Chains A and B, each alone.
Chain A
Amino acid sequence: MILKNKLIIFLTIILLVATLNFISSQSIEYPQCCALANNGAQCVSVPASECAGNFAPSSCDNPGNPCQKGVCVSIESGECRENTPQLVCENSGGLFKTDAIHKIPECQLGCCMLGQDAIFSTEISCKEAASKEGLSFSFREDITNSNSCLGLSFTDQEGACVVKTQFETKCKRTTGKECGAKDSESGLTSLLDKYVSGTSVTTEFFQGKLCAADELKTDCVKSQKTTCYKDDVYYLDTCGNRANVFNSAKYNDPLNSDYWTSIQKPSDICAEVSGGSASAKTCGNCDYSSSTKCRSPQSEDPSPQNQMANFKNICGDLRCKYKSKTYQNTESWCAQTPGTQWEVGGPGIKVNLTGNYLISKDNLFDPEKYNLPGSRYVVQECSEGEILEVPCKDKREQVCKQYEQQGRTKAACEVNNALSCTALKDPTKDKCNKIDDCYWLSGNSKIIGGDEDEGSIWSLTKEDIEKQGLNAGKFSDEEREQKQGSCVPLFSPGNDFWTEDGQAECMAARDFPRRVIYEILAISPKGRDEFLSDSEVSGEHWSYDSNDKETRQTRCAGNCFAIPNYGKGIQEGIATLWDGKKWSDWTAGMPISDRKGQYCHKKDKPDRPKSGQVIGNQVDCAADDEDVDEGKRYNRPEFYTHSSWLKFIGIRARASGDCGITTNFLGESPSYDSEKITTMIQKVKQDQSSTKEKWKGEVVEGILYKGEDLADLNNPKFNGAIYPGTEESVI
């Protein structure tokens, strides 16, 4: 036992001696202090032999030693250096102080907001740096922590701005810049419940942190409330600060979890919610481009799976439904309006991104169904679940065109360039169809007949023909296809036809009246009379039934077709109309000829035309007749039937605008006073003079159809050669 105690005492002494020796060895390593060493170093611990001056065999820290350490202050730059020997300081032009640095006013550090940066420095340094860098500055002495200060320089980054007094710790989710601004700008002290002006307030910024973060020990904690921010649904903390994007599955995560501690990207919290998706119940990461946005739940939105009663926001479904089709938010389309083309009710006006039609013009053109008087195009747009209507300009000055762009339907009102169709100089089929808003309606044309009425060309002299640049009936089939027709608006424009000006416009600008006469080249005068009497006296209609009474066609010499402005003088009345059958309805043995009219003149008898057949490119009009004047031969198969001619002028009138007889967009039949197509018939001899005694030598005209007679162009109402109640008149 005694031995044991002796051993303990011995070991203790050894340990004590060793410890003292260690401490001694540490403190006596350089017990001397040299103010200026041989190598120029100041205040260093070197042996006397290496010291050039002011050697002291004691520590430099001893009071009174010129090398004692303290704080060195630069009055010029505001820098304060602790642990600086007095001699070194004074030799550097500094002011030496032995006070603790926090007691030296010039050395109080704060946050120097320099331009967009933040530097933790003294106020003098801050001013000096601002001066050198040419920047504005503000000095925040309430920020006493270097990291908080540096955090403020991340100006656009969000985080928790913690405002602290000795009584309370408040927090606001802000950017570093806002947190670093002076209180007069940020109003941060207003967060405090017990703020007394002039009392000490410190501000600290924690970039990327949420105010609810447990580690910040603020007065803010998580709550069940949500708010809308930048289209997304966010949880709020009890101080009203945004937490992270709503995710019902994460609400019960611990307070120190990332979800309640750090600002996270919405995409890291849950996948974007698209319109109509059930994920809106659980996730607040809305996607405006996929038709969702934060809003109060509405009937069409799914009920959120959130057990909290005060849940007030959700990724609302912004899609729209129209005519059984669902559109995404911001999509637009052409609405279904009466009398316009529409996707379901008609072909719709669909174009590609370069504006070319995706549907043929032949399908788009139907003036009896589309672009009716009073109709108007309308663009509809899906705007956050609501359908907004944007009417295009009235009277079809604009039409709605629809296209697909990046998988989205878009529609726009585009100008209907209808005037360019009628204004087209020297129109041809190709030139016309190149204009987006025009349509080439094959049929008769002044081009073929020149500026004279059709048929009259053959009464012109050769010089006149050359002067007018006319081809005198020698058009090739290709030329005829190009030139024989009218360039009309694809989308019939409207006009104020019910006003005097509108009527004047209809009458002046559009060439509706056409003079026409029918060639009924009956085989004999007797036959001709019978032909006429059949139609006018017996009331027999032209048809090709097996009805015994309907025999007039047998009297026709194979060319009973309407030839505008051609014809010999015939008796009163024209009844060569048939029952509206289309050309294609006729089959073999048709009562009208399909030959192209070929007309010639005898050289010595200009008032004696001669007709013949065209077979292919061969014309037999003059083949066997040597005295034919070739210069006056022409070939004009403009229309093979009266109905095709009638239909042409009707359609052309309707395509040209609201002047034609057209059922309006409400389905109402127009009144004669409001719209009309007046068709006049000129009964002339070959020299264009009237066949009537009282009009002898005069060119006369009379109304054949008008008003509602032509409402149905396939079934026009014929009222006799001269419209009842009207008279012929001299032109």
Chain B
Amino acid sequence: MEKKRGQLTIFIIVAILVVAIVALLFAFPKLRTSVGFEKPESPENFIQTCLEDTIKENVETLSKQGGSLEPSLSILYQDEKIQYLCYTPQKYQACVVKIPFLEKHIEDEIKKSIEDDVNFCFNSLKQTYDDKGYTANLKKGEIIVELLPQRIVTTINNEFTFSKADETQRRETFRVIVDNNLYELIGIAQSIMSDEIFFGDSFEQAYMEFDTNVKVEKKRPVTEGTTIYILTDRNTQDKFKFAIQSWSFR
């Protein structure tokens, strides 16, 4: 009988210890990592998660404003400032190009728009790893934004090193990929701009026949000679809006 009572006491003590350890691990997350219960998110995933939404938002803004975050020469249309890609104030004259290389311009604009966020995300990454018991180092590098078919690729050549115990890992390149058809829409926008330079107008139906996935809408606001173009990818609903002021002289 006494033997049985002793066994019960041991069981109760063991149970109390288990509950105490679990409670400690919940109360101090850092302790979970240090004892090897939890690993931090991979650097690639961390950066992708951190920047993806920002890039999407900035691209959306750029797309609504003719490719510029702060349009210099613009028209207000439905409470949105839309960049003129080509503009002339003079009647019977072809419009003058304001953004000659739209693709590069937008790549630069995106890059400019995310620089602060990139810094913030990488600092957060370092902090996260520091908090989890790693020794993390960050060396900043170049940011390259590329508009590519059906996607926007942001390459950040930051070097991130993190180590713990005897294990050291290093990442030199981070890629954040966002699905978007801006590349295709810009191609059409540039062709429309060429039409406007040559003819003072464009033939939206031809573009829609050529690429049935794209809808080309022309809006004529009150400003004389100005055309607002809204290009929409019918599948993804990605849009690109821009303005042109030109005069038909045919």
Contacts and interface: CB of A to CB of B under 8 A. Distances in A.
Contacts of A83: 86, 94-97, 197
B105 interface: yes
A69 B93 CA distance: 13
B90 interface: yes
A524 B98 CA distance: 137
A77 B210 CA distance: 23
B104 A40 contact: no
B101 interface: yes
B101 A74 contact: yes
Contact of A88 (B95, B100, B148): B100
Interface string A59-74: 0000000000100101
B96 A29 contact: no
B104 A132 contact: no
B99 interface: yes
Contacts of B100: 72, 74, 79, 81, 84, 88-89, 92, 94
B149 interface: yes
Nearest to A89: B100
A280 to B, nearest CB: 39
A88 B98 contact: yes
A407 B38 CA distance: 73
A133 interface: yes
A41 B73 contact: yes
Contacts of B97: 72, 81-85, 88
B155 interface: no
Nearest to B195: A146
B72 interface: yes
A81 B72 CA distance: 19
Contacts of B95: 83
Interface residues of B, number: 28
Interface in A83-117: 83-85, 88-89, 92-94
A201 B92 CA distance: 36
A173 to B, nearest CB: 23
A392 interface: no
B73 A44 contact: yes
B76 to A, nearest CB: 13
A42 B84 CA distance: 12
A500 interface: no
Contacts of A89: 100
Contact of B149 (A26, A82, A93, A132): A132
A153 B210 CA distance: 9
B101 A93 contact: yes
B103 interface: yes
Interface in A150-166: 150, 153
A150 B206 CA distance: 10
B40 interface: no
A647 B193 CA distance: 100
B172 interface: no
Quick one: which of B90, B97, B98, B190 has the most chain A CB within 10 A? B97
Contacts of B73: 37, 39, 41, 44
A26 B93 CA distance: 11
A34 to B, nearest CB: 11
Given A42-B72, A76-B104, A26 B91 contact: yes
The 10 A-B pairs with the shortest beta carbon distances in the complex, nearest first, are A40-B72, A41-B73, A84-B97, A81-B100, A41-B72, A72-B100, A81-B97, A84-B100, A133-B149, A92-B100
Interface of B: 70, 72-73, 86-87, 89-92, 94-101, 103-105, 146, 148-149, 183, 190, 193, 197, 210
25 contacts: A26-B92, A29-B89, A29-B90, A37-B73, A39-B72, A39-B73, A40-B70, A41-B72, A41-B73, A42-B72, A42-B98, A72-B101, A74-B101, A79-B190, A81-B97, A81-B100, A83-B86, A83-B95, A89-B100, A92-B99, A93-B101, A94-B101, A132-B146, A133-B149, A153-B210
